[in-house]
Structure 1
Amino acid sequence: MSNTIKVNYYDQFKCIADKCSLSCCQEWRIAVDDETHQKWQGVQLQGVTEAGKNKEPLELCSCVKKDENGYVVALKQDQQCPFLNQKKLCNLVIELGEAYLSDTCTTFPRQINEFGERTEYSLASCCPAVVDLLNENEGKLQFQQEGSSKQSDEVLMAVRDMLIAVMEEESYSVPERLMMLFYALLDLQTKKKLTQEQIKSHSAKKYLEPIVEAIRNMKFNVMDTFFERNELFLDIVENYRKQKLYVNYIEEISVLAESLEEEYSDEELLEKLKDFEAQLIPYEKLFKNYLVAELFGNSLMPDMTLEDLIIAFEWITLEYSVIKQGIFLKWLSGGSKEMTYTMVRDYITVISRITGYDHSDIKEYLENSFESIIWEWGYLALVVGHEKI
């Protein structure tokens, strides 16, 4: 019997259209599937200006180009979709109806993964309205199941369930949870044959407590962690800076990131970091929910291996670390004033978009950037550091 599972806030999502602070109709790749491209042949938009005067008709296919992965919407010079009007509404929908939208525009930010008879529904965190739902969610994220109630015997599903269970464990800090989980993943990778019992044991207190005790007794160099995150941030945003995308969010803080050692002493940065972490505490639940959502939606895809899952976990950890660095740099550039929810939400959204690669592209990035595609445990510990969040 087939079954479906979805995050508990999935059906609450509603596009906020012109009220969105970070429209998905600008500054990133908008795919056009073959069926939609065919439907657009010979179709025009009439369109009107703000004053109500007619524009020149716009051929839909004149707004399409081809890249290495297929057809995409050719953005205008301001990096906006040519179908977006001055009120930030889609002229395709206004004039022709939703049936003329591409699959990408119809489904975003919804994510649907199919594993045989099991279909999973989640929402991508690269949409501000989704981050709002994560922030508003009370307690643990829930996963609603319909259809067969039988638990999957697939071991990688069990591994992901273990990751989510530990990430929900509030007796540990968020960095501690990430370090413990990576240790568990590397341990599971050494097993000749994974069993459900082995996997489940890695979320048990008697397994986790010695690990977290060892972590808490470790000496962390705060500045080493900080500057490693800073380098990761600059590396991740480099191509977007070259393409002049998300300029308002990444350019100024990237310039600051490049000059930190000249502008601040280590002592000054340590004081700033202490203040920053204190101001981040109200957002601990949001970061936890973000990580749980990422683990559910992006750590496991059809036909993955355990190594693939570990690579996905590394990438989620990298995203989390770069998001924190981006928020810190924005906060610092604004004079270290009180942090706002909007600031936190915007950088979760922007960095999630910038790091939203396919798994094959993630592997290529890691292969080109690190000695081994599977990190040593110590490197992940260096990246996440010892802070509470």
Structure 2
Amino acid sequence: MFPRIINRYADIKEISLSCACPEVVEIISTLSDIRMESIDEVTSLENYDSDIRKILINIVSDDKFAIEYSLILCYSMMNDLLGADNEKDKSDIKRKYNDNSYLMEFVDYYKSLDVNIYDSLDELTSLFVDITENYKHVKLLKEMLENICNLAENIDIGEAAEEYHKFKKLYENYDGLNRKCIISKVYSLSIEDD
């Protein structure tokens, strides 16, 4: 029942709250940290790896990284784990992402990449136009996608980049709350099958 999230996996039942509920966000905004309290001992969950959850939460909690870098680190770790061939590789990956010097090196490397917002927006807009072109003639999608496609074809990239920078600056004011909501999501979705 909303805003509760209930996950069951083997003998584990986890109950958490959804940040889609304004009251939950209000509660989370007043907490100094978010943690999972365990009532029962896990006894029969083969694929459950609490280390992954802990590492993700440590990365997101670490405010020495901008939130976008924390999320990039989390994505990279999960991607590396999905590509791991065996338990030793997984263990090495977890150890790597638990190492603060590696995280700093990774973020410094990522910052050194020349990511040009204008080129990125131009490429995304072109990709979006290509996708909508293929589907805007489908009867059910025509009205919705035709207008979106026209907007994408006529967008002013410079104006969009300026709006992006304004939004990013405004968004930084909510980093603490966003981190708490992400941590809440990590807790609430960690034992789902997928």
TM-score computed with the length of structure 1 as normaliser: 0.39
Aligned partner of 1:140 in structure 2 is 33
Aligned partner of 1:279 in structure 2 is 170
Query: What is the CA distance between 1:280 and its match in structure 2?
Result: 1.9
In the alignment, structure 1 residue 259 sits paired with structure 2 residue 151: yes
- 2:39 match: secondary structure: strand
Change (3 A) 1:184 1:214: same
Change (3 A) 1:119 1:225: farther
In the TM superposition, what are the counterparts of 1:58-73 in structure 2 within 5 Å?
Answer: none
In the alignment, structure 1 residue 127 sits paired with structure 2 residue 21: yes
User: 210, 219, 230: which one pairs with 2:114?
Assistant: 219
Contact 1:160 1:300 in 2 (8 A): no
In the alignment, structure 1 residue 111 sits paired with structure 2 residue 5: yes
- 2:78 match: secondary structure: helix
Aligned partner of 2:71 in structure 1 is 178
Query: What is the CA distance between 1:274 and its match in structure 2?
Result: 2.0
Query: What is the CA distance between 1:205 and its match in structure 2?
Result: 0.7
In the alignment, structure 1 residue 206 sits paired with structure 2 residue 76: no
In the TM superposition, what are the counterparts of 1:255-334 in structure 2 within 5 Å?
Answer: 259=151, 262=154, 265-301=156-192, 304=193, 308=194
- 1:131 match: secondary structure: helix
- 2:174 match: secondary structure: helix
In the alignment, structure 1 residue 168 sits paired with structure 2 residue 61: yes
Matching residue's letter, 2:84: K
When Rg is computed on C-alpha atoms for both structures, the one with the higher figure is: 1
Measure, in 2, the Cα distance between the counterparts of 1:291 and 1:226: 25
Measure, in 2, the Cα distance between the counterparts of 1:216 and 1:200: 23
Query: What is the CA distance between 1:154 and its match in structure 2?
Result: 5.0
Measure, in 1, the Cα distance between the counterparts of 2:121 and 2:148: 14
TM-score computed with the length of structure 2 as normaliser: 0.72
Query: What is the CA distance between 1:203 and its match in structure 2?
Result: 2.1
In the TM superposition, what are the counterparts of 1:231-250 in structure 2 within 5 Å?
Answer: 231=128
Cα offsets for 1:126-176 (capped at 9, x unmatched): 323223333x233332222224499x8855332222212211111111111
Matching residue's letter, 1:296: Y
When the two chains are superposed, the root-mean-square deviation of aligned CA atoms in Å is 3.5
Query: What is the CA distance between 1:261 and its match in structure 2?
Result: 5.4
> Sequence identity of aligned pairs in percent?
18
Matching residue's letter, 2:105: P
In the alignment, structure 1 residue 158 sits paired with structure 2 residue 43: no
Change (3 A) 1:272 1:297: same
Change (3 A) 1:216 1:132: same
Change (3 A) 1:225 1:122: farther
Matching residue's letter, 1:194: E
Cα offsets for 1:172-222 (capped at 9, x unmatched): 111111211222222223333225843244222133122111101011121
Gaps of at least 5 residues in structure 2 are none
Cα offsets for 1:315-358 (capped at 9, x unmatched): xxxxxxxxxxxxxxxxxxxxxxxxxxxxxxxxxxxxxxxxxxxx
Measure, in 1, the Cα distance between the counterparts of 2:120 and 2:33: 29
Contact 1:167 1:174 in 2 (8 A): yes
In the alignment, structure 1 residue 189 sits paired with structure 2 residue 82: yes
Change (3 A) 1:149 1:137: farther
Cα offsets for 1:30-80 (capped at 9, x unmatched): xxxxxxxxxxxxxxxxxxxxxxxxxxxxxxxxxxxxxxxxxxxxxxxxxxx
- Count of aligned pairs: 178
Contact 2:9 2:191 in 1 (8 A): no
Gaps of at least 5 residues in structure 1 are 1-106, 244-250, 309-389
Contact 1:125 1:131 in 2 (8 A): yes
